[in-house]
């Protein structure tokens, strides 16, 4: 805040230097007072971005010492139990990073934990976007960029996980080899081309390394750039609330508030990851030993974000492999790739599917509360349950051991849940959403139960209800509950088949719904039960009559 | 960029939905630090303290780097790792907390409203853009010279082919690699001590007591061209079960000796080593995806995602009493692949 002459002169001087060479004032003018609404749920994407920064920094350090080569050598480092053991250079250099390089283990663990947090934050961010309808026009393309980010994040994780060439990652690669070989027609060739011949070969680590430190991060950085550019173009969405309209965005300006909070949050995420990396061991490769195709440790698990595909492999029964004219169709295996394609494909298609069935092609900058779109929320929960069942299956053996259950029973239960879980999740979520909407109606129509019992002059006892404040009421009432649009005839007076299909979907989506309270309903309710909602109290609390524009503001 | 500090009512027009009118943004309430200079002073001191703590964290990290240098022991390594982590966490976290505290107490928290504009450009801009594109079309003649345009498209379309072609040498064609292993007539079964052993430890029939199980590799593994590739195919599990418990199929009567049986250790699902042998039930369990094979019934799948039984290695005893293979496996080991039935194994 110092305004001394010398200070301002200095600033003017350097600012003039930058300005006359970059024209930075245009950027400051454009972005300096950009508005970002504040809400915890908007910080999930930030967590992902900041974890990614930690990944880039820690990963760059690791490349200084890691040797992505599979030539065999005898370990002569300081970790006694493995001294003299034959191993690849990749594994030996990972041991070297862990034991010889001061802070090397810390960087390895920081990198691995940051990857886990990156994927977790991406996933939760995607769920937030889905459940609030933030992917609707004009943000469909950015949603697709986000889906691509998740896919590339998985690719980054997989390629990095396999680099140390330890027993655990080697067995993971072997599963990938088996998965590739199951692809009809081309699988064997894909496997031989990826591994440079037979599994494990001597090429895979250096090939994955190139992917992991160059191609995949380059794509990720490009996608993140596009993602953020879209956020600037579209401006951020905002939660429904008084004063929040489709035409405005209410929040904090980039300079100084949002930049300060965001920058501080970056440091806190970095700090949290450092603390976890310092205190919690992850991937202790020295316990696993170098890759050897014969042994395997029990209770092996992939990193959490690959778990759902591994779990899917565990759930599929063997009879799904069959032969046509002597050629195998290993549907029990390669369907893991199909499931991933279905999930990602459905995510990409969803915004367009929803727009088609609702016929709603308007811009949406105000988010929907999940309860106010029960069917979408239910579909999202169903998909999440499906994902989680597969995810749990990746730990089926550990669940069986921990709870002293039969491994086979655990698998049978999860196989059943694979089909029933999403259906149950759908039904329950829909009912819960409709119930919550009814509760909202109740709240608006009858007010908050105050717990105060009053006695009326004629002797009747009543509980005093306090009317909802107009600001809160706005949030509870200002939303749309779209009715299903029936099939319409086109210009020729014919109802095309596609239109009939759309109407069926729309019917399915919106036939059960709860309408928001209208002002007329509220007035009628006040009229009918005037004793229930204390008019005087209402006015006192809200400072204004029902539904009137408050004059005091 | 029209952003303005709101003055109670939000920028733009207020909506009316379902009969209710938007009451506008709630009134901004000043914080204690906005109205009490003393409180602001306290907040300033707190922020300063966090920044100082951050410097202490940085010093902590530097000191730990030198003070707890690892000496090869795990305990020491863990100590240094924890100290570095805590130091870095304090250094970074204190900056983070300090900035956020600053933002929450001293930087203005008044909400600001910014108007949204149509994402599509104005009609005027669109018209200009269209004009530019049309002009480019005219001046380049791309529409008037379809021959050039089409040839350009064709040339660019096939230009990446060389890049794809060069990928051809990523790997050799599979050939018969998946149909043969190191096993053949007379190859001794040796114990697998892990890795690729310098010396073979062949197994005598007499060593294999009832109930025992051996992890087995072929002899002279080290002399092969790619020992790990060969081991990945040739790994075998050897078990001895009471002969009366074995249900031997016709044609395989002499593939085992006195209840000693040898099966491929490579799972027919996706290739993990089937390393868990349950002595009581004679089941083999793959720890990766829980495929379960019944050793007493030629390792047929009794549970899990695998389909094909584990291939059996026919074994015999040589003149010195060592276990040897009679031949290679009679079918490919490991995961199913497209060409699996297109040729027979060497056996």
What is the CATH architecture of B177-325?
3-layer Sandwich (2.102)
Say if residues B61 and B91 touch (Cβ distance below 8 Å).
yes
Per DSSP bridges, beta strands A35-36 and A248-253 are: antiparallel
- For B202, the token pair is 């062949």
Q: Where residue A139 sits, what CATH number does that domain have?
A: 1.20.810.10
The answer to whether B182 contacts chain A (CB < 8 Å) is no
HEC string of A283-301 equals CCHHHHCECCCCCCCCCCC
| Average pLDDT rounded to a whole number, residues A177-181 | 97
**3-state class of A103 per DSSP?**
coil
The reply to whether residue A278 touches residue B196, judged by beta carbons under 8 angstroms, is no
Query: Quick check: B20 pLDDT over 50?
Result: yes
A137: Cα separation from own chain's centroid: 19
**CA A248-A249-A250 angle, 5° bins:** 120
> Is A519 in CB contact (< 8 Å) with chain B?
yes
Round to whole Å and give the CA distance between B208 and B203.
Answer: 8
| Cα-based distances in Å from A206 to A188, A196, A427 | 21, 11, 49
B43-93 pLDDT, tens per residue? 999 999 999 999 999 999 999 999 998 887 899 999 999 999 999 999 999
Tell me the pairing of strands B276-278 and B283-285: antiparallel
CA torsion through residues A376, A381, A386, A388, sign: positive
SS3 A163: coil
Chain A residue with minimal CA distance to B277? A298
Are A158 and A148 in contact by the 8 Å Cβ rule? The answer is no
Cβ neighbourhood burial of A516 (10 Å; 0-12, 13-18, 19+): buried
Alpha-carbon span A334 to A178, nearest angstrom: 9
Give the helix/strand (H/E) hosting A480: none
Neighbours of B88 (CB within 10 A): 25
C-alpha dist (Å) from residue A366 to A18, A39, A244: 38, 13, 8
Question: Among B337, B341, B342, which would you mutate to test the A interface (most chain A Cβ atoms within 10 Å of its Cβ)?
Answer: B337
What is the three-class DSSP state of A367?
A: coil
The model's pLDDT over A51-83, given as tens digits with 9 standing for 90+, comes to 999 999 999 999 999 999 999 999 999 999 999
CA distance A478 to A474: 5
Q: Identify which of A243, A318, A323 has the shortest CB distance to residue B10.
A: A243
Buried b (16+ CB within 10 A) or exposed e, B5-16: ebeebbbbebbe
Q: What's the pLDDT score for residue A219?
A: 98
In a domain, A222, yes or no: yes
Q: How close A18 comes to chain B (CA, Å)?
A: 23
Q: Is residue B219's pLDDT more than 50?
A: yes
* Distance (Å, whole) CA A294 – CA B272: 8
Q: Does pLDDT of A1 surpass 80?
A: no
Measured between beta carbons, which residues in chain B are less than 8 angstroms from residue A257? 103, 107-109
| Tens of pLDDT, residues A79-137 | 999 999 999 999 999 999 999 999 999 999 999 999 999 999 999 999 999 999 999 99
pLDDT in tens, B179-204: 999 999 999 999 999 999 999 999 99
Place of tokens 């609390």: A541
Residue A133 lies in a domain: yes
Phi, psi of B94 (to 5 degrees): -65, -40
Token pair belonging to B32:
């204690």
Sign of CA dihedral A354, A356, A358, A359: positive
Instruction: Tell me which of A160-174, A478-492, A533-547, B228-242 is least confident.
Output: A533-547
Q: Give chain A's radius of gyration (CA, Å).
A: 29
Q: Considering the domain boundaries, does residue A72 fall inside one? A: yes
Nearby residues of A137 by Cβ (< 8 Å), 6 or more positions away: A351, A355, A361, A362, A363, A364
Across chain B, how many H-helices and E-strands are there?
Answer: 7, 14
| Interface contact A294-B287, CB threshold 8 A | no
B 37-96 residues with CB < 8 A to A = 65, 69-72, 77-78, 80-86, 88-96
What average pLDDT does chain B have? 92
Return the pLDDT at B11: 41
Model pLDDT, residue A539: 35
Residue B142 and residue A299 in contact, taking contact as beta carbons nearer than 8 Å: no
Q: Alpha-carbon distance A248 to A363, whole Å?
A: 12
Length of chain A: 553
Considering only alpha carbons, which residue of chain A is nearest residue B334?
A178
Q: Give dist(CA B236, CA B255) in Å, integer.
A: 14
Domains identified in chain A, total number: 1
Asked if residue A220 belongs to a domain, the reply is yes
Tell if the CB–CB gap between B171 and A192 is shorter than 8 Å. yes
The token duo for A153 is 């994040």
**Any B CB within 8 A of A84 CB:** no
Domain membership of residue A66 (yes or no) is yes
Chain-centroid distance, C-alpha A546: 40
How close are the terminal C-alpha atoms of chain A, in Å? 32
- Residue A516 inside a domain? The answer is no
Q: Assess A478–B contact: CB distance below 8 Å, yes or no.
A: yes
Contact A490, A517 (CB under 8 A): no
- pLDDT above 70 coverage of chain B, percent: 95
Residues A175 and A313: their CA atoms lie apart, in Å, by 10
Looking at chain A, the whole-number percentage of residues with pLDDT higher than 90 is: 79
Predicted TM-score (pTM) of the model is 0.93
Residue B3 to residue A260, Cβ atoms within 8 A:
no
Q: Which of A88, A331, A291, A320 lies closest to A187, judged by CA?
A: A331
Question: Which phi and psi angles does B218 have, rounded to 5°?
Answer: -75, 155
Q: Is A368 on the interface with B (CB under 8 A)?
A: no
Written as six digits, the tokens of B77 are 């390594």
Given a contact cutoff of 8 angstroms between Cβ atoms, the answer to whether A487 and A503 are in contact is yes
pLDDT greater at residue A392 or residue A529 = A392
The Cα A359–Cα A352 span in angstroms is 10
Half-sphere exposure of A260 (CA within 13 A, CB side): 19
pLDDT of res. B7: 39
Residue A187 lies in domain: 34-320
Residue A22 near chain B (CB below 8 Å): no
| Residues B53 and B90 sit within 8 Å (Cβ to Cβ) | yes
Q: What is the pLDDT of residue B72?
A: 79
Instruction: Summarize the confidence of residues A217-238 as an average pLDDT.
Output: 97
**pLDDT for A527:** 76
Average pLDDT over residues A407-413: 96
Identify from A141, A175, A278 which residue to disrupt to test chain B contact, counting B C-beta atoms within 10 A and taking the largest count. A278
Residues of A in contact with B109 (CB under 8 A): 252, 257
Partners of B240 in the beta sheet?
B260
The distance of B139 to chain A (nearest Cα, Å) reads 32
Q: Do A294 and B307 touch (CB under 8 A)?
A: no
Please indicate whether residue A463 or residue B161 has the higher confidence score (pLDDT): B161
Q: What is the pLDDT of residues B275-300, one digit of tens each?
A: 899 988 999 999 999 999 999 999 99
Paired strand residues for A330? A321
Q: For this complex, say whether ipTM is above 0.90.
A: yes
């Amino acid at each position: 805040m110092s305004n001394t002459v010398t200070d301002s002169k200095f600033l003017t001087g350097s600012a003039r230097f930058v300005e006359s060479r970059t024209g930075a004032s245009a950027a400051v003018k454009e972005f300096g007072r950009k508005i970002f609404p504040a809400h915890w749920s908007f910080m999930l994407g930030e967590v992902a971005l900041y974890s990614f920064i930690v990944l880039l920094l820690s990963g760059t350090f690791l490349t200084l010492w890691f040797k992505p080569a599979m030539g065999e050598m005898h370990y002569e480092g300081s970790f006694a139990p493995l001294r003299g053991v034959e191993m690849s250079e990749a594994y030996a250099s990972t041991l070297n990073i862990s034991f010889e390089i001061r802070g090397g283990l810390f960087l390895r663990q920081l990198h691995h934990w940051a990857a886990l947090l990156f994927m977790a934050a991406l996933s939760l961010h995607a769920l937030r976007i889905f459940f609030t309808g933030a992917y609707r026009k004009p943000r469909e393309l950015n949603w697709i960029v986000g889906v691509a980010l998740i896919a590339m994040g998985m690719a980054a994780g997989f390629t990095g996980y396999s680099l140390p060439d330890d027993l655990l990652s080697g067995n993971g690669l072997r599963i990938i080899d088996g998965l590739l070989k199951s692809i009809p027609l081309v699988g064997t060739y894909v496997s031989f081309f990826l591994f440079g011949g037979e599994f494990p070969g001597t090429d895979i680590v250096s090939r994955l390394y190139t992917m992991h430190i160059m191609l995949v991060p380059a794509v990720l950085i490009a996608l993140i750039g596009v993602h953020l550019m879209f956020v600037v173009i579209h401006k951020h969405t905002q939660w429904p609330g008084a004063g929040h309209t489709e035409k405005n965005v209410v929040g904090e300006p980039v300079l100084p508030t949002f930049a300060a909070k965001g920058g501080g949050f970056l440091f806190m995420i970095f700090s949290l990851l450092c603390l976890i990396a310092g205190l919690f061991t992850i991937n202790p490769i020295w316990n696993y030993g170098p890759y050897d195709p014969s042994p395997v440790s029990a209770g092996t698990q992939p990193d959490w974000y690959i778990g759902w595909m591994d779990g899917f492999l565990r759930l599929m029964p063997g009879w799904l492999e069959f032969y046509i004219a002597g050629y195998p169709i290993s549907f029990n295996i390669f369907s893991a790739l199909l499931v991933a394609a279905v999930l990602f494909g459905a995510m990409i298609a969803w915004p367009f599917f929803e727009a088609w069935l609702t016929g709603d092609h308007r811009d949406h900058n105000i988010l929907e509360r999940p309860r106010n779109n029960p069917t979408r929320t239910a579909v999202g929960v169903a998909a999440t349950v499906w994902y989680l069942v597969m995810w749990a299956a990746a730990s089926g053996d550990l669940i069986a051991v921990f709870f002293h259950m039969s491994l086979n029973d655990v698998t049978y239960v999860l196989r059943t849940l694979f089909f029933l879980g999403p259906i149950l999740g759908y039904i329950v979520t829909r009912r819960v959403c409709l119930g919550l909407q009814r509760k909202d109606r109740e709240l608006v129509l009858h007010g908050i139960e105050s717990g105060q019992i009053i006695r009326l002059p004629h002797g009747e006892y009543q509980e005093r209800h306090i009317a909802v404040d107009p600001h809160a009421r706005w949030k509870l009432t200002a939303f749309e509950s779209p009715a299903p649009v029936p099939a319409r005839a086109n210009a020729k007076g014919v109802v095309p088949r596609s239109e009939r299909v759309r109407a069926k979907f729309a019917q399915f989506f919106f036939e059960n719904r709860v309408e928001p309270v209208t002002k007329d309903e509220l007035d009628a309710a006040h009229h009918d039960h005037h004793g229930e909602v204390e008019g005087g109290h209402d006015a006192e609390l809200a400072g204004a009559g029902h539904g009137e524009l408050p004059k005091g503001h | 960029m029209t952003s303005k500090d709101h003055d109670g009512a939000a920028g733009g027009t207020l909506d009316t939905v379902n009969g209710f009118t938007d009451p506008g943004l709630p009134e901004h309430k000043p914080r204690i630090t906005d109205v009490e200079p003393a409180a602001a002073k306290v907040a300033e001191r707190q922020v300063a303290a966090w920044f100082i703590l951050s410097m202490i964290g940085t010093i902590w990290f530097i000191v730990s780097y030198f003070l707890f240098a690892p000496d090869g022991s795990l305990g020491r390594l863990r100590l240094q790792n924890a100290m570095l982590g805590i130091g870095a966490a304090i250094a970074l976290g204190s900056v983070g907390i300090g900035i956020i505290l600053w933002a929450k107490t001293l930087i203005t928290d008044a909400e600001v409203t910014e108007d949204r504009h149509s994402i599509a450009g104005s009609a005027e801009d669109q018209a200009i853009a269209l004009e530019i594109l049309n002009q480019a079309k005219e001046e380049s003649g791309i529409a008037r010279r379809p021959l050039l345009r089409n040839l350009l498209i064709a040339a660019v379309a096939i230009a990446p082919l060389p890049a794809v072609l060069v990928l051809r040498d990523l790997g050799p064609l599979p050939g018969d690699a998946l149909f043969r292993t190191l096993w053949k007539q007379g190859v001794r079964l040796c114990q697998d001590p892990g890795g690729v052993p310098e010396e073979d430890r062949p197994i005598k029939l007499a060593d294999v007591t009832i109930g025992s199980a051996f992890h087995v590799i072929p002899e002279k593994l080290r002399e092969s061209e790619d020992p790990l590739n060969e081991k990945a195919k040739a790994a075998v599990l050897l078990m001895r079960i009471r002969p009366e418990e074995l249900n031997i199929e016709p044609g395989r009567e002499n593939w085992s000796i006195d209840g000693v049986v040898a099966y491929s250790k490579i799972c027919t699902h996706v290739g993990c080593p089937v390393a868990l042998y349950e002595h009581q039930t004679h089941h083999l369990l793959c720890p990766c995806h829980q495929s379960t094979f019944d050793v007493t019934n030629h390792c047929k799948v009794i549970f899990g995602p695998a389909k094909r039984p584990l291939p059996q290695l026919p074994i015999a005893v040589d003149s010195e009493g060592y276990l040897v293979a009679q031949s290679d496996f009679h079918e490919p080991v490991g995961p199913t692949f497209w060409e699996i039935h297109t040729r027979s194994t060497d056996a």
